[in-house]
Amino acid sequence: MRAAVLGALALSACATLPAPAGDVQMVPATVETEPVASADDAADDPAIWRNPRAPERSLVVATDKQAGIHVYGLDGRRLSYTPAPRLNNVDLREVGGRILVAASDRADVAQAHVSLFELDPATARLRPLGRYPVGAGEAYGMCLWTRARDGALFGFVVLKDGRIDQVAMQGGAVPQVRTVRSMKLATQSEGCVADDRTGLLYVAEEDAGLWRFAADPAAPGTATAVARVDGRTLVADAEGLALAPAGRRGGYLVVSSQGDNAYTLYRLPGVTYAGRFRIGGGAIYGTSETDGIELMPGDFGPGFRKGLFVAQDGDNAPATQNFKYVDWGKVKRALKLR
């Protein structure tokens, strides 16, 4: 704990530096979703399910943290809505032929929960599977990890105070969720993403930067600093995290640099700075103050042949908040990425 506190202080030492002009590329959005029903701060975090047989019929699951959870098509149309107040972050995995959707549940600010759903790709509807207690505190971030050696599924619930509770998850008619480990960062944290290939978990401490943990519950819960909030390449708050895996260990880690409405890329496996972009400059209005993001390479059909990047838009005035879809290939071309 002392090491985490000292590390956070070191990471945040440069957080007040101004962001330089001219280092950010503009990439247009291709599609935007229908706005969420709730006003003010409502839309939060997306997850992507890619349809392997018909990529153009893939789905985006996204939260309205005041009211429930939506399923959108790649054209941005809302296909279904499930009431579930105070869901925050969301992730999904395919388990035993089922698409399991997990969301951090903040309905009880004193007791963190995970809410589970099953996604039916034929109807684009979510079937609630229940709410499961995790530990004391307010649930905030949420991401899933599938262990490569045995296919075991785990979730990471990031509490608002920086604690990270790891849960083992088992499917079945009545899913089971059991807390197996806790880790800690010093201050408010939310965004997380786990790399199924390498067994590494990345967590964003909002005012400090990015940390890495071993995802396996048998490993020590030691945090390793990998990128700092410096006011130039990454501007607080550091919010959503997403991965674009390539090969056995390569690819990119993307973080929402909320303080300057940008997205910062780091090249894997070494987490080295690779560039920044903003969404805008096209027929669809750009994004600002982004919370959650998601990214998946691959062919998603017309408009997204190289992959799909989804970002929450914190200011979609005069409408309520929504989500913007970006062609990942355009991001790579703009930043001259391999």
DSSP assignment of 259-312: GGTEEEEEEETTTEEEEEEEE-SSSS----S---EEEEES--STT-TTEEEEEE
β-pairing, 25-27 vs 272-279, is parallel
Domain architecture of the chain: domains with CATH: 2-334 (2.120.10.30)
338 residues of the chain, pLDDT tens digit each:
333 433 443 443 333 333 443 489 999 999 999 999 999 999 999 999 999 999 999 999 999 999 999 999 999 999 999 999 899 999 999 998 999 999 999 999 999 999 999 999 999 999 999 999 999 999 999 999 999 999 999 999 999 999 999 999 987 777 899 999 999 999 999 999 999 999 999 999 999 999 999 999 999 999 999 999 999 999 999 999 999 999 999 999 999 999 999 999 999 999 999 999 999 999 999 999 999 999 999 999 999 999 999 999 999 999 999 999 999 999 999 999 98
Element (H, E) at 2: helix 2-11
Cβ(146)–Cβ(193) below 8 Å: no
Q: Which amino acid is at 58?
A: S
Query: What dihedral do alpha carbons 317, 285, 294, 48 form, nearest 10°?
Result: 90
With a CB cutoff of 8 Å and minimum separation 6, the contacts of 1 are 184
Phi, psi torsion values for 202, nearest 5 degrees? -115, 135
At residue 12, the pLDDT reads 35
Distance CA 44, CA 320 (A): 12
Length of the chain: 338
Please state, in angstroms and as integers, the Cα–Cα distance from residue 138 to each residue in 86, 207, 281, following that order: 11, 18, 37
| pTM to 2 decimal places | 0.93
